[in-house]
Chain A
């Protein structure tokens, strides 16, 4: 059928060309309307800000160009630590969350204690504020006196991140595992695959695909929470900004750190959106509704 190709089609009629022109115009109009309305809102906000009584002071203390340039390299140094912590934390979360999700999806009464432990774990760490986990790990582990050396706070912060985020990610993965149709499991077990083999080779690959947007969402959220390890004393981007603020009495460094975190997560946010859109396009056949 493909051999005949598109050349067998009749030439596009004037009517269809007219319809396409009309649709293009409509699209152009909507783009124009949204651009104009965005500009209007931006101008209103801008005018509101610059006519506020304290705008001059606010501008100097939060948006000072000199302090901005001064803080930039220092905060960037801090951000490098955030990135390092993030890399190791993501690897840790991927492993630990998969194990947890696997434990929670085990069948049969023999595995009751394991299931119970795994669900107790996710309940505990999803319920506990991350800041509390950070303090408990960051201050509690060194207090045990397991080693003569000082345990680096970056390591403790990474452990706390892994413990907390694994519980979220494990639940997302479990939802994905349960969303894979039971017939897939039946087919895999009928081939003689074990429970573990079925999970690893058939169920998980499909499950991860189903929950990729949710996983990326957790990842982005984690990217910001890396900044919280500063409470343990790690000199990361947030801490660097704090130091600058303390030395200069000018808050521009916070704005720098905030913008850097946004810039850092922005590619991943866009990537997630793109991934979600692609998945949707693939799963929906009728394109119009």
Chain B
């Protein structure tokens, strides 16, 4: 099989004396959607943050398309520019219009001209169904629309990898669907995605593989149908019995 887009080996992260990740191994291959599940505090968010170097790992190695990005000689900004991230609370810039939010990285990081960036930005907005809201400011949009804009901002630069951190947790149940539909479209479009979520139904529909984390360790992983449908480990069974009703 070809080289994974993201490969994490033996990731350890300790806050003070509290280990959050205790040696996690994980790989995401091209066009693959890997879903992280687990209780709050199991290390899902921390793992995503270490993947784009927002948190420094205390041991282990991270490879992005074969390059060791955990090497301190690697320029972290350049690595982050190759990865798209969507946060739980959208984190849109309130002082910029929707289009400027989406095109900021194109213009200021990737050196794309203003006109071309605007054109590409409008194309991305059209793709997420918000073509007419480019000049609006984020606070004029609904939560679901804001999160779709945040996704647009992450995919505008055609990143190699998308990290989605519980992107529906802050949304009204009515608005969850539109965001998840968009993630489904991204998968269909061939994006490589690592996401943490509490939406088990969605995970079973869209995930190629599911990874169950608990206490900073991978307890079980495999195809979605296997992990969610016929879990082997007692911890996984207990977790799923409490979340899927």
Complex Cα gap A49–B112 (Å): 50
Q: Determine if A5 is an interface residue (Cβ-Cβ < 8 Å).
A: yes
Tell me if A12 and B215 are in contact (CB < 8 A): no
B12 at the interface (CB under 8 A from A): yes
A289 (CB) vs chain B CBs: closest residue: B54
Quick check: A6 and B14 within 8 Å, CB to CB?
A: yes
B residues 38-74 touching A (CB-CB < 8 Å): 41, 49, 53-56, 58-61, 70-73
State in angstroms the CA–CA spacing of A5 and B23 once bound together: 14
Interface size on A, residues (CB 8 A): 20
In the assembled complex, how far is the CB of residue A110 from the closest CB belonging to chain B, in whole angstroms? 32
CA of A2 to CA of B215, assembled, Å = 9
Interface string of A106-136 (1 = CB under 8 A from B): 0000000000000000000000000000000
Residues on the B chain within 8 Å of A13, using CB: 10, 59-60
Interface of A is mostly: loop
Please indicate the chain A residues that have their CB under 8 angstroms from the CB of B41 in the complex.
Answer: 1
A12 adjacent to B55 (CB under 8 Å):
no
Q: Find A15's partner among B53, B61, B215 (CB 8 Å cutoff).
A: B61
Give the distance in Å from the alpha carbon of A1 to the alpha carbon of B151 in the complex: 34
B75 proximal to A (CB < 8 A): no
**A287 in complex: contacting residue of B19, B23, B55, CB < 8 Å:** B55
State the Cβ distance, B4 to closest chain A Cβ, in Å.
19
Q: Which of B63-122 contact A (CB under 8 A)?
A: 70-73, 76
Provide a sorted-by-A list of 27 A–B residue pairs whose CB atoms are within 8 angstroms.
A1-B41, A1-B215, A4-B215, A6-B14, A6-B17, A6-B19, A9-B12, A9-B14, A9-B22, A10-B10, A10-B12, A10-B22, A13-B60, A15-B59, A15-B61, A16-B58, A16-B59, A19-B70, A19-B71, A19-B72, A22-B73, A286-B55, A287-B55, A287-B56, A288-B55, A288-B76, A289-B54
The 5 closest A-B pairs by CB, nearest first: A16-B59, A286-B54, A22-B72, A19-B72, A10-B23
Interface residues of B (CB under 8 A from A): 10, 12, 14, 17-19, 22-23, 41, 49, 53-56, 58-61, 70-73, 76, 215
Q: A12-B59, A287-B56 are in contact. List 13 more A-B contacts (CB 8 A).
A: A1-B41, A2-B18, A5-B17, A6-B14, A6-B17, A8-B19, A8-B22, A10-B10, A10-B22, A16-B58, A16-B60, A286-B55, A288-B56
